[in-house]
Structure 1
Amino acid sequence: MFEVGKIYNRRTDIHGVYKGQQYGGIATPANHPYVFIFTSEAGEEYGYSDGFSPDGTFRYTGEGQEGDMIMSKGNLAIRDHQKNNKEILLFEAASQGMVRFVGNCNFIIHHTEERPDKNSEQRAAFIFHLDIVPQTKGNGVESPKAPYLIKPTKSKSLKQLREIALSNTPTKAKAKEKLIHVKYRSDAIKLYAKKRANGLCEGCDTKSAFETKSGPYLEVHHLTRLSDGGADSPENVIALCPTCHRRAHYALDGVSFNNELRRIAKAIEAKLA
């Protein structure tokens, strides 16, 4: 339906087809099994600070512009989406009226913290911890119990790391287990990218400049990301030397270079498939 990394017109491509609230951060179309959520840096001045956390989850601020947030409407739709057989689809603002699809999400838990409302008054805000489901050419493996909690380590094979990175979190697992799995999956994709590179920069094909205690020094770069930090999948990561990594972020030809890196990553993964 939606392709990760692709840009869509919110009004025509989303609301024109599926309906739902055209304004605000959460849209809940009545006749479709989806909950659309939208994030933008523009909301930070009103306490809506979203993004990926170190544990690999995406932290999404609930709706409600004034006073304490209430667990109703869009907030309730996020919390109860699995019970209601709804999919959460996350989009980030790209330009005026345009949004980029980040991926399908599953709610894990939420917490409440003090955030300013639109009047700069402190209030209780809901922060939802979301698991962005890996996007792959095949279906991820969903194990019913402990096997999906395998801790990724350098000693794991490339195949084992890939399986951990692509495994789906069982929807019936406890919240604590889900959080552990998301963290393991995030760690696995970074180890996977470095092991796949085998000491060579996948951007310029040169040997790592130096060794560290954990092996050749390479940096993992995400090719399609939210504010330069996004959903993990083998086709979306590449191991780079520091020079290529900074070129991808800051060079005048950064856009074209990232497009070339996407081509390289896809070609590498095609050989491994």
Structure 2
Amino acid sequence: MFEIGKEYKRKTEIHGPYGGQAQGGISTPKNFPVVFVFTSDAGEQHGYKDEYREDGIFWYTGEGQVGDMKMASGNKAILEHSKNKKTIHVFEYTKKAFVRYIGTAECLGYHEETRPDREGNDRNVFVFHLDINSVDTANQVSEPSASYGSKNVKGLKNKSLKELRRAALTSSPIGASSKAKRETAYYRSQALKLYVVARSKGLCEGCGSGAPFQTNSGPFLECHHVHRLADGGPDHPENVVALCPNCHRRAHFAKDAVIFNNELKKIAVEAEKNAL
């Protein structure tokens, strides 16, 4: 339906063939079993802060610009997507009118927070917990496998490179509880960080220099997601590189950040080919 990492012009390439609301963060086409979710940094000033959390779950702010949010329309569509047999598709704005496809997602629940609305008044908002699947099974060398065993994060430190990669691609068994899916997301996220640093062999994948220093757990390198998604990025080995602090800041703040990130995308893909 959509290709992971590919940019689409929202109005013509998404709503043209599928319909749905062409404005706002949540779109619910009538004639297709889908829910389209769009995330962007632009809404943060109005309380729409979307981000990956340490546990690997993506927090997505619901719709409603003024006053308390209501569990209706797009918000209800996200919460009840599984019951209604609809698939959530997540997109991230890259520039005006264009979005990048991140992958499908499952809503594991939500919580409520007090945040400012468009007019600066405090209001109640819904924050949905999305487990995003950014694996393009049509183009990946290996597909994610369901994990039925123990998800002991401490045990990851003793795994081989191949075992860490397998853990980074772990998915929850069909029918697993929300609790089990959250545990899997956290396990997968931690495995990915360890895997990328191990894959780098202690060398920055941006400039090729050695890690600036060693820690008790190995070389100090930082994980950078080449596809931004609120600075978290899709959790997949082909989307993440290990960088020294200097290159990591360059990827976020330098004048040539866009060019540098495009180079890092190629490096990540090539690193994966050599690691397998």
The verdict on a shared fold, with TM-score over 0.5 as the criterion, is yes
1:139 is matched with which residue?
143
- Answer whether contact 1:134 1:166 (CA < 8 A) is retained: no
Change (3 A) 1:128 1:148: farther
- Greater shift, 184-193 or 61-70, is seen at 61-70
2:57 is matched with which residue?
57
Which one of the candidate residues 258, 261, 264 is aligned to 2:264?
261
How far off its partner does 1:191 sit? 0.2
Task: Give, in whole Å, the separation in 1 of the partners of 2:78 and 2:21.
Answer: 15
Deviations 1:127-160 (A, max 9, x none): 10101113141431123x4x26342522111122
Task: Give, in whole Å, the separation in 2 of the partners of 1:250 and 1:68.
Answer: 35
Which one of the candidate residues 245, 248, 255 is aligned to 1:245?
248
1:93 is matched with which residue?
93
| Structure 2 segments unaligned to the other structure (5+ residues) | none
Q: Secondary structure of the residue that 2:229 maps to in structure 1?
A: coil
Q: Secondary structure of the residue that 1:227 maps to in structure 2?
A: helix
Identity %: 51
- Answer whether contact 1:190 1:220 (CA < 8 A) is retained: yes
- Greater shift, 244-253 or 104-113, is seen at 244-253
Task: Give, in whole Å, the separation in 1 of the partners of 2:251 and 2:67.
Answer: 41
Which one of the candidate residues 183, 186, 194 is aligned to 1:183?
186
RMSD between aligned residues: 1.9
Letter paired with 2:69: M
- Answer whether contact 1:162 1:189 (CA < 8 A) is retained: yes
2:236 is matched with which residue?
233
> Does 1:78 pair with 2:66?
no
1:124 is matched with which residue?
124
Which one of the candidate residues 206, 211, 227 is aligned to 1:208?
211
2:17 is matched with which residue?
17
Change (3 A) 1:160 1:111: same
- Answer whether contact 1:148 1:164 (CA < 8 A) is retained: no
- Answer whether contact 2:167 2:188 (CA < 8 A) is retained: yes
How far off its partner does 1:176 sit? 2.1
- Answer whether contact 2:50 2:230 (CA < 8 A) is retained: no
Task: Give, in whole Å, the separation in 2 of the partners of 1:180 and 1:157.
Answer: 21
How far off its partner does 1:47 sit? 2.1
Letter paired with 2:254: A
> Does 1:107 pair with 2:103?
no
Task: Give, in whole Å, the separation in 2 of the partners of 1:156 and 1:238.
Answer: 19
- If the length of structure 2 is used for normalisation, what is the TM-score? 0.90
Task: Give, in whole Å, the separation in 1 of the partners of 2:150 and 2:60.
Answer: 25
Task: Give, in whole Å, the separation in 1 of the partners of 2:145 and 2:84.
Answer: 23
1:192 is matched with which residue?
195
> Does 1:161 pair with 2:164?
yes
- Greater shift, 216-225 or 167-176, is seen at 167-176
> Does 1:48 pair with 2:52?
no
Task: Give, in whole Å, the separation in 2 of the partners of 1:261 and 1:12.
Answer: 29
- If the length of structure 1 is used for normalisation, what is the TM-score? 0.91
